[in-house]
Each structure stands twice: as C-alpha cells, then as structure tokens.
Amino acid sequence: MNVHADPVADKRAEAQTAEEGIALQEEQAKYDSAFATDVAMQNTLLTPRFYTTDFNELDAIDVSPVRADWDALIAEMEADPNKGHFKKTEAWDHVDWDGMDPALKKEFIDFLISSCTAEFSGCVLYKEMKRRGTNVDVTKLFQLMARDEARHAGFINDALREAGVAVNLGFLTQKKKYTFFRPKFIYYATYLSEKIGYARYITIFRHLEAHPEHRFHPIFKWFEEWCGDEFRHGEAFALLMKTDPKLTSGANVWWIKFFLTAVYATMYVRDHQRPAFHEALGVDPDWYAHEVFTKTSALSEQIFPITLDIEHPRWQRTLETLHRANVAIADGKATGGVAGKLKELANSAKAAWCFAALYTIPAKRHDRPDSVRLEPVY
Ligand SMILES: [Fe+2]
Ligand SMILES: [Fe+2]
C-alpha cells in the first residue's frame, strides 16, 4: 500500500493549467486551517505580498528582439520536465511532527507558510496576466509559469497539512490585499525573486546532499528539480527585460539597485528570525545569506548592469544592525502602550537609516553579455 496515497494531490501534480491545479487544491481545502491562512494574510514589509500591475502595458511587449532565445525557453517549459514531480512518493519519509522540538516546529511551519504564500503570489499574478492578455507570446509564458507556481504552492500545502495546518489558497486569492506595481517594477522584483528563489533552494539542496543528517524533513529532497522551474522563470523575465534596453539603463539603474537592496535585506532579516530552523539544517544564516547573495549576483549580471558590493565593510555590519532593529520593532509591538510604541518608532527610524546606509554603498558596474540565456550551474 502506498502510505502517501492522496489521489487529489497526485492529480494536482499533473495539472496542465493553474486553474485546474487551484480547483483541485480547493477540493483539498476543507482541511485547511484558519491559523495558517491568517498568517498568510498578514501584510508587513517582511511578509510575501500579492501583486497586480498594468496588464495592458505588459501585453504590448514584443519579444521579436529575443525571438530565438524566447522560443527555446518556451519549448523547454512546454516539455514540462517537472510534470508529476510535485507529489509525495516513497522518498517522502515519515515526519514526526509531534516529536519535533517546539521552537523548530514553529519556525519551520512559519517558513512553509511564507514559502507557500510567496509561490502562490507568483501563481496569482501570472494567472491574471494570462487571463487578461491577448499577446500569444506573453500569455503562453504566463500560463506556463502559473502552472508551475500552482504546483509549488500546492505541494508545500500538502506538507503543511500533515502538521495539521494549511493555507486556504482560494480564500487568499479573494481576500488578500493586492499591491500595485508598474510593469517595470514587476520585472525587477519578480526576476529577482525567481533568481534568489533558485539560489536559496539549490544552496539548501547542495548543503543537505553533503550533510543528509540535517535533512529533518523530506520536502528538501524535492528542491533540485524545483529550483529548475524557478531558474526558467527568472530566465523569462531576463528576456522580457532584454526586449527594451531602457529598462536596464539610465535612471532605471537606481531602481534596480533599490530592488536588489530591498530583496537582499528582506531575505537577511526574515531568515535571521528563524534561528532554530537554520540550526536544525546545520546552516549558519550569515554564511547562507552570503552564499545566496553571491549566486544571485553572479546570475543577475546576465541582465543588470550593476551588482551590490556585498564585500563592502558596511554591508554585513549594517545588515546586523537592521536585524536588531527589526527584533526591537517586534518587541515594541508586543509590549504595547506608550513605551512599546516609542520603541517601535525609534527602531523603525533606525531600520530606515540602515536601508539608506546599504543603498548608498557604491555598486559594482560590469559589462553584460550579448545573449542573456544562462544554464543552472550551481
Ligand atoms: Fe515557484
Ligand atoms: Fe517561480
């Protein structure tokens, strides 16, 4: 007997469209908990958000300047190398949720909810673009990416369901607040989140390959193929940006620097909120952050004319101060009253100062290759 038999989840892993995948998830949703959905509903600077954009502007993109690379990438995605990958198999070891150290359990569930929300945020945005667009190139791409993200979010939810929690994705789609970003900001933010997602998943996967004793949950075994999807999504956004050189030159370089700084700093602060999780993985969060930033920077040279100077003496020091300010903000909120509010305000100002200190570190400029396409090498 297959102990993992869940026919709905198995069907979902094979789903060809995001709509089909989401419908199957709603069939599973009767088990989903208010707790996990509440966490996913939160909107703070550090929690994953849902985005909306000017879909007409996106629809007007002409991919002719990158046609050959574009067609090759779409063909790769249509071949669907991960069809059927995102389901539990015999490799899915039993997870002793009840025996798990409570601090680890809390942080790990938080990690899964946040990852699920981020995956689903991509799904919702891509699906909407596919629904509203008329440009066959663009809608095809977004349909394929939405398909992948629906599988990713659904698979994380399967893992959460075993712990007695899961995010109600249908509810989230209807009720979570959407943040509007102009298309160019969607490109910068989404490109980076796809590439940093790839770098995060592959770094954990390679680390656990070398240290399997730290693999405290089976989901990490799925990360290698998983990050292949994220890599391809990032490639697609690199090609979209490549269609218009203005997007990555002139004043827009300041925006690119802004998004690089925001995405890196957010990752640092968010990960440092989970010490027990990183200890269980046998990973020093400072080492991990540096490793992921190094990989993401190397990849983003394919399209961005600058990278952040993460070796600058001010970089690490300021990230640490930012992390401490963030802990103090949470403390202030928890304390409440006038003293709590003052602590929160003082540390919010400190956090803003830290961001400015990071942003003003001179960036490194470099020449970009003629062809943007890369292969996953890590
Ligand atoms: Fe994903
Ligand atoms: Fe993705």
- Say if residue 78's pLDDT is above 90: yes
pLDDT attached to residue 31 = 58
pLDDT (average), residues 84-112: 94
Range with the poorest average pLDDT among 3-12, 60-69, 126-135, 368-377: 3-12
Mean of pLDDT values over 7-33: 77
Report the separation in Å between the CA atom of 350 and the middle of ligand 2, taken as the mean of its atom positions. Answer: 33
pLDDT in tens, 299-321: 999 999 999 999 999 999 999 99
From ligand 2's centre to the CA of 370, what distance in Å? 24
Q: What percent of the chain has pLDDT over 90?
A: 79
**Residue 18 lies in domain:** 7-244
Ligand nearest to the Cα of 77, by number: 2
Longest dimension (CA), the chain: 61
Q: What is the rounded CA–CA span in Å between residue 66 and residue 111? A: 37
CA of 325 to the centre of ligand 1 (A): 30
pLDDT score of 88: 94
Residues with Cβ–ion distance below 5 A, ligand 1: 119, 149, 152
Least confident of 6-10, 13-17, 152-156, 318-322: 6-10
Ligand with smallest separation from the Cα of 120: 1
Determine the distance separating the centroid of ligand 2 and the alpha carbon of 222, expressed in angstroms.
15
From the CA of 148, how far away is ligand 1's center (Å)?
A: 6
What does the mean pLDDT of the chain come to?
92
Confidence of residue 9 (pLDDT cuts 50, 70, 90): confident
CA distances (Å), origin 70, targets 75, 88, 123, 189, 195: 9, 32, 21, 20, 18
Between the CA of 33 and the centroid of ligand 1 the distance, in Å, is: 22
The answer to the question of residue 60 being in a domain is: yes
Q: Is beta strand 306-307 parallel, antiparallel or unpaired with respect to 364-365?
A: antiparallel
CA of 50 to the centre of ligand 1 (A): 14
From the CA of 142, the nearest ligand is 2
Per-residue pLDDT band at 46 (split at 50, 70, 90): low
Q: How many CB atoms lie within 10 A of CB 329?
A: 20
CA of 157 to the centre of ligand 1 (A): 13
Cα distances from 223 to residues 126, 152, 174, 315, in angstroms, run 22, 10, 29, 29
Residue 268, domain member (yes or no): no
Q: Is the pLDDT of residue 371 over 90?
A: no
**Which of 5-14, 132-141, 255-264 is predicted with the least confidence, judged by mean pLDDT?**
5-14
For range 141-157, the mean pLDDT: 96
What pLDDT does residue 1 have?
39
> SS3 of 247, please?
helix
Ligand 2 center–CA 119 separation, angstroms: 7
Closest-approaching ligand to the CA atom of 145: 2
Domain count for the chain: 1
Ligand 1 centroid to Cα of residue 229, in Å, is 7
Asked if 11 and 17 touch (Cβ cutoff 8 Å), the reply is: no
- Is residue 94 included in any domain, yes or no? yes
The answer to whether the beta carbons of residues 21 and 12 sit under 8 Å apart is yes
Which residue has tokens 């680390």? 207
Q: Identify the nearest ligand to the CA of 232 by its number.
A: 2
pLDDT score of 48 more than 80: yes
Q: How far is the CA of 359 from the centre of ligand 2 (A)?
A: 26
Average pLDDT on 189-196 reads 96
Q: Is residue 273 part of a domain?
A: no
Q: If you measure from the C-alpha of residue 128 to the centroid of ligand 2, how many angstroms do you get, rounded to a whole number?
A: 15
- The rounded distance, in Å, linking the Cα atoms of 226 and 277 is 20
State the sign of the Cα–Cα–Cα–Cα dihedral 97, 101, 104, 109.
Answer: positive
Contacts 24+ apart (CB under 8 A), 205-208: 206/378, 207/281, 207/282, 207/283, 208/281
Which of 149, 243, 147 lies closest to 187, judged by CA?
A: 243
pLDDT-derived band at 12, boundaries 50, 70, 90 = confident
Q: What is the mean pLDDT of residues 188-198?
A: 96
In a domain, 363, yes or no: no
Q: What is the pLDDT of residue 41?
A: 76
Is the predicted pLDDT of residue 265 greater than 70, yes or no? yes
Quote the pLDDT of residue 170.
Answer: 85
The DSSP string of 43-78 is: -SSSS--EEE--HHHHHT---GGGHHHHHHHHHHHH
Does residue 42 lie in a domain region?
Answer: yes
Q: Check residues 29 and 349 and name the one with the higher pLDDT.
A: 349
CB atoms within 10 A of CB 103: 14
pLDDT of 45: 67
Cα–Cα distance for residue pair 330/343, rounded to 1 Å? 9
pLDDT band at 23 (very low <50, low <70, confident <90, very high): confident
Q: What does the pLDDT read at residue 218?
A: 97
**pLDDT category of residue 22 using cuts at 50, 70 and 90:** confident
How far, in Å, from the CA of 74 to the mean position of ligand 2?
Answer: 14
* Mean pLDDT, rounded, for 182-201: 96
Q: Is there a domain that residue 175 lies in?
A: yes
Model-level pTM?
A: 0.92
Residue 153, pLDDT > 50, answer yes
**In this predicted structure, what is the pLDDT of residue 2?**
46
Q: CB 54: neighbour CB atoms within 10 A?
A: 14
Whether 252 is in a domain gets the answer: no
The pLDDT > 70 percentage for the chain reads 96
